[in-house]
Amino acid sequence: METDDCACLLPRRFGGTATFLGEDTTKGRYGAVSLRRCKHCDRIWLDYFVEYEGFSRSDRWYRAVVSPEDAARVKPTTAVALIAAQPWHIYGGSYFEHAGKRGAGLVLVDL
């Protein structure tokens, strides 16, 4: 049951068990893609994390709530587009110099 006051909606990463879907190797990014279900409200989150070893402060992550139908068909190579298509997402990491904020639209995962 989804609620509007669940901790998973706060602009920070939350714990829990994730299901790793694989790596998005588009443009050599090797982004880690996973799905996570909130144990409190049952929302399904699509997580994307990428870091470029040769560049300091390059790590960034995104997460967005997705429908069960989208969760069933998402692939690592379609994750960025699916996150960008959601009404909002949460993003953060050293690249952005913050631990997490809400945003919408553009998902910056390339160098």
Rounded CA-CA distance 78/76 in Å is 6
Which DSSP state fits 87?
A: S
Structure confidence at residue 40 (pLDDT): 86
Record the pTM.
Answer: 0.91
For 6-21, the pLDDT digits (tens) are: 888 887 767 667 899 9
- Answer yes or no: is pLDDT of 1 > 60: no
For 33-49, the pLDDT digits (tens) are: 999 999 888 999 999 99
DSSP, collapsed to helix, strand or coil, labels residue 45 as: strand
For 40-89, the pLDDT digits (tens) are: 889 999 999 999 988 999 999 999 999 999 999 999 999 999 999 999 99
In which region does residue 61 sit, left (phi positive, over 0), alpha (psi from -120 to 50) or beta (all else)?
beta
CB contact set of 21 (below 8 Å; sequence gap of 6+): 33, 34, 35, 74, 75, 76, 79
